[in-house]
Amino acid sequence: MTDPWQAPDAPVSPRFGEFSTPTSPHQSADPGRGWAPPPKPGLIPLRPIGFGTLLGASFQVLRRNPKATFGSGLIVQAAIMLVTVVIVGLVTFWAIDRIDSAPLDQRDAVTAGSVLAGVLSLIVPVALSLIASALLQAVIVVEVARATLGEKLRLGALWRRAATRLWPLTLWTLLLTVALLLGVAVIAAIVVLLVSVGDAAGIVAGVLVGVFGGLLLAAASAFLYTKTSAVPSLIVLEKLGVRASVLRSWSLTRGYFWRTLGVLLLVGLIVQVISQIVTTPVTLLFGVGTVLVDPTGAFADQSSIISVVVSLIIAIPVAAVAAVVQSAAVALVYLDLRMRKEGLDLELARYVESAAQGADVPDPYLAPAASGTGYSAA
């Protein structure tokens, strides 16, 4: 049985710098010239990516260019968390104070207005989160693509390139978020409707709909996320519109659904486990330390402020690392799919060779659009 994670024989350059037509994969047309491994000018070898290489390269993105990658993640995550804490915190403080100071006969109306204000205060952080997450994803996609070619861009250069595709990617992120929220809202509405009937049958039916509906929504989300996993890379690197990117991603993942899903799930699981390993001990130690230092709770307000600050100090870098690694995995999956199905590795090797000789060569990632595949750019 063949190993499902093993890179298949794909047409690659027989020797770095020589591009004669091969008679078989990984073999030169010259019988006197032995097999030579594909070149590795940068982040990954220029061949279909094995599972171990893909997993390692997702983390290596951080180590190879930490200022641009981890720095971008840190800026984005800090902006999201700080804006969320400041806006939501201030509105919550104002709402509580307003409710406490309201007359008894007006408290219900004041409470309803305060709750509405709290909900509306989430609009700004959510909008910022969508835009900032799209920007970070675009930055990492550009970094992975250029690092594969042996290039190392500074933070400013990455952000300028990523910014040109920010709005299509933000639109795609928004569509995913809205679709997920609609799914949750539909299931929640059905559950509430059934439970509100009041009899035992309605409650049981509501519980069953909630459980199986949640499982169905999770399965549908995993399927759609896997089939559209290449969309961010297609938007950024091939400069396609959202619709064209979805269609092309659907085509690229055909035949590699389970492999793609397995890679994305495993990378996400590893990131989550590492995050918990880092954050849980610190949280427990801080909780125990607070009890030992202030057993009577005399400084509860100060402890709460310190707890928020410590949580942010820990959560921001951890979230930055997680976002960078997961975005890098998505970009690497895209490269791997194109190498397996379109021979992108050969195009990248030609680009590296020509660029090393000072030739003016087109961006190899734009090849499908240039060859008249029918996918229109945004």
pLDDT tens by residue, 84-108: 888 888 888 887 877 777 777 777 7
Q: How many CA atoms lie within 13 A of 178 on its CB side?
A: 7
Question: 15: which strand partners?
Answer: 18
Is residue 7 within 8 A of residue 15, CB to CB? The reply is no
231 assigned to some structural domain: no
148 assigned to some structural domain: yes
Q: What is the reported pLDDT for 27?
A: 40
Q: Which domain holds residue 270?
A: 51-164+256-357
Q: What is the reported pLDDT for 294?
A: 62
124 assigned to some structural domain: yes
Q: What is the pLDDT of residues 198-208, one digit of tens each?
A: 778 888 888 89
Specify the amino acid at residue 290: T
Q: Which of 276, 357, 345, 321 is nearest to 46 (CA)?
A: 345
Q: Which of 145, 138, 158, 162 is nearest to 46 (CA)?
A: 145
CA gap 168, 233 in Å, rounded: 11
User: What DSSP string describes 279-301?
Assistant: HHHHHHHHHHHHHHH-TT-TTHH
3 assigned to some structural domain: no
pLDDT grade for 223, boundaries at 50, 70 and 90: very high
The domain total for the chain is 1
63 assigned to some structural domain: yes
CA gap 172, 243 in Å, rounded: 9
pTM for the whole structure: 0.79
175 assigned to some structural domain: no
**105 against 327, higher pLDDT:** 327
323 assigned to some structural domain: yes
User: What DSSP string describes 242-280?
Assistant: HHHHHHHHHHHTTT-HHHHHHHHHHHHHHHHHHHHHHHH
The yes-or-no verdict on residue 221 having pLDDT over 80 is: yes
The yes-or-no verdict on residue 64 having pLDDT over 60 is: yes
349 assigned to some structural domain: yes
Q: Which stretches within 10-122 are classed as H helix?
A: 51-64, 66-101, 107-120
pLDDT grade for 234, boundaries at 50, 70 and 90: very high
Provide, for the chain, the percentages of residues in helix, strand and coil under a 3-state DSSP scheme, each rounded to the nearest 5.
75, 0, 25
